[in-house]
Chain A
């Protein structure tokens, strides 16, 4: 069964600090991995999409890395802002059937 596991489940950081979220997956064969940001009560918004050949991609203060060999990805948030408080979801797509496997998400709370 294809799985996506995210850690930590939640974290609290002070405004201005950095943090890193982890995503481990077992989806195989692999097509792409996406990170989404979901604000409370809203739909997820795509942050990055990475394919097998990409090992890093940035979107402003968000930087995602991918190690397809170890099936691990991370999302690094630099100089956090209060608006970064949200749930971050890792989504992996398999190349056979294009079905999406979702992680449970990491809830980030940024405090002033």
Chain B
């Protein structure tokens, strides 16, 4: 069974640009969550999608947005990038009961 895949794995952008990251969940998983991980802050929850609807949201500014498609694949978008957005962005998928999440390898975003 294929795991969670994320693309791209690495990304370099400059301040002010926008970026879109993609996540393909494990087959059958309908819940997808996004996290930001930085050395100083650890893992921080961005948002969760289930059946194309945002079900939970963390405390991030509106520059961070996401969506989920009918095949459960999800994208997150960050607009007007700031230096502080440099981080590892992780996607995790699970069955609707959310007992266990499976993480992807992450996308390493560097903002210059």
Is A102 a contact of B100 with CB atoms below 8 Å? no
Find A102's partner among B44, B98, B99, B104 (CB 8 Å cutoff): B44
User: A100, B4: Cβ atoms under 8 Å?
Assistant: no
Q: Give the size of the chain B interface in residues (CB under 8 angstroms).
A: 19
List chain A residues, Cβ under 8 A from B106.
41-43
B15 CB to closest chain A CB, in angstroms? 24
Q: In the complex, how many angstroms separate the beta carbon of B87 from the nearest chain A beta carbon?
A: 13
Question: Size of chain A's interface in residues, with CB distance under 8 A?
Answer: 20
What chain A residues lie within 8 Å of B90 (beta carbons)? 43-44
The interface centre, meaning the residue of B4, B45, B90, B99 with most chain A CB atoms within 10 A of its CB, is: B99
Contacts of B86-112 to chain A: CB distance below 8 A: 88, 90, 92, 98-106, 108
Q: Check A41–B108 contact: CB distance below 8 A.
A: yes
Q: Which residues on A sit within 8 Å (CB–CB) of B20?
A: none
Decide if B42 is an interface residue (CB 8 Å cutoff). Answer: yes
A49-B99, A100-B45, A102-B43 given; A43·B4 CB < 8 A: yes
Cross-chain contact A32 with B99 (CB below 8 angstroms): yes
5 nearest A-B residue pairs (beta carbon): A43-B103, A104-B42, A102-B43, A44-B103, A43-B105
Which residues of B are at the interface with A, using a C-beta cutoff of 8 A? 4, 42-45, 56, 88, 90, 92, 98-106, 108
Residue ranges of A at the interface with B (Cβ–Cβ < 8 Å):
32, 34, 36, 41-46, 49, 89, 93, 97-100, 102-105
User: What are 11 sample pairs from A and B whose C-beta atoms fall under 8 A apart?
Assistant: A32-B99, A41-B108, A42-B106, A43-B4, A43-B104, A44-B103, A45-B103, A93-B98, A98-B56, A102-B42, A102-B43
